[in-house]
Amino acid sequence: MAKVLCVLYDDPVDGYPPPYAREDIPRIERYPSGQTLPTPQAIDFTPGELLGSVSGALGLRSFLEDHGHELVVTSDKDGAGSEFDRHLPDTEIVISQPFWPAYLTAERIAAAPHLKLAITAGIGSDHVDLDAAAAHGITVAEVTYSNSISVAEHVVMMILSLVRNYLPSYQTVRDRGWDIADCVARSYDLEGMHVGSVAAGRIGLAVLRRLAPFDVRLHYTDRHRLPAEVERELNLTFHPTTQDLVPACDVVTINAPLHPETEGLFDDTLLASMKRGAYLINTARGKICDRDAIVRALQTGQLAGYAGDVWYPQPAPPDHPWRTAPHHGMTPHISGSSLSAQARYAAGTREIVESYLHGRAIRDEYLIVDGGKLAGAGAHSYSARASTGTT
């Protein structure tokens, strides 16, 4: 029987379960690419429930325990003597989320001789040292596309929030004020602006598609250029590098995976090449941006605003400078963990676990590392030298 160690974020402060705002969620038949949604043999949860916190257990408890497997669910993942470290040595399957990542370092992998499978409940597996996983024969998988549209919607929301100066205006109402001049002094129309995406994979392309109706001028860069018909459809301007892209844009959204080529990409030099007063959105990974360079750019006005929901480390410490930087629109890492997304990534996690336990092949599009090398989605998204030193 397998021991499964699942690391999830804490339950709501006011207790679990919360009263739900809606009684159901829309049923999505398939993803925009045509890829089918997760197809587990069954689920033991109601879509729309809170599944990503400890008590939700991704809806896996009954399934695993009824079949004699051991499930340990914890939010305690960091520091000496954490529950994660205590259970890791005899664990066969680790499940984690990007929003509350259990950093599977090379040292932790070396201390887990029974570990065979590391699953990301969601997308983005950079919290796993992929080189070490490959060297130890560990399969790494994630629920590809499960929350890509969720993140894309979050990006559009943050762009509009920054450009229209929504958050300070909302706070004016909360403070019982009516200071219209103060609210509109930093408010602009998105219409006519040049908006660029760093990467145009599932999330980046979805962002571009959602922005097209705003009558903006769209730009992108990606190491895999989009088909010509997509470029024509969306009137996209392609740039061969990020360095070529950013000077042309009023708004830049980062939708790239974290790997050695993107770590620290947005540093003082790149930020200085952007238009003064540009906006930067980062829902990809915190370490793609130089933490202190972002603060300096906001303080000088080189950036008119910075928003995102990714930090390093996660959870971010109380004194993280992005919390108090001017003109930011940061949130905790929530973009891909809506209740709608949770239903999909919980079902996908179960599909992966079922496949592993029953000796079936895991879907190729879910694979990041398999057979000692990058595989599936991982071979498309990550570099051969996959470790960034962040995990």
Q: Give the residue numbers annotated as catalytic, written as ranges.
A: 147, 285, 314, 333
DSSP 8-state assignment for residue 390: -
**Do residues 34 and 102 make contact, with C-beta atoms less than 8 angstroms apart?**
no
What residues contact residue 27 under an 8 Å CB cut-off, 6+ apart?
Answer: 47
End-to-end CA distance of the chain: 29
Type of residue found at 112: A
**Identity of the amino acid at 183:** C
Counting DSSP H helices and E strands in the chain, the numbers are: 14, 13
Q: Which two tokens stand for residue 371?
A: 């057979």
Tokens 């941006």 map to which residue?
A: 289
Closest CA to 314 of 88, 120, 75: 75
Token representation of residue 261: 């080529």
DSSP state, 71?
E
Candidates 262, 199, 294, 269; CA nearest to 390 is 262
Neighbours of 268 (CB within 10 A): 14
What is the DSSP secondary structure assignment for residue 363, as one 8-state letter? P
DSSP-derived 3-state class of residue 93: strand
| Cβ–Cβ < 8 Å for 100, 75 | yes
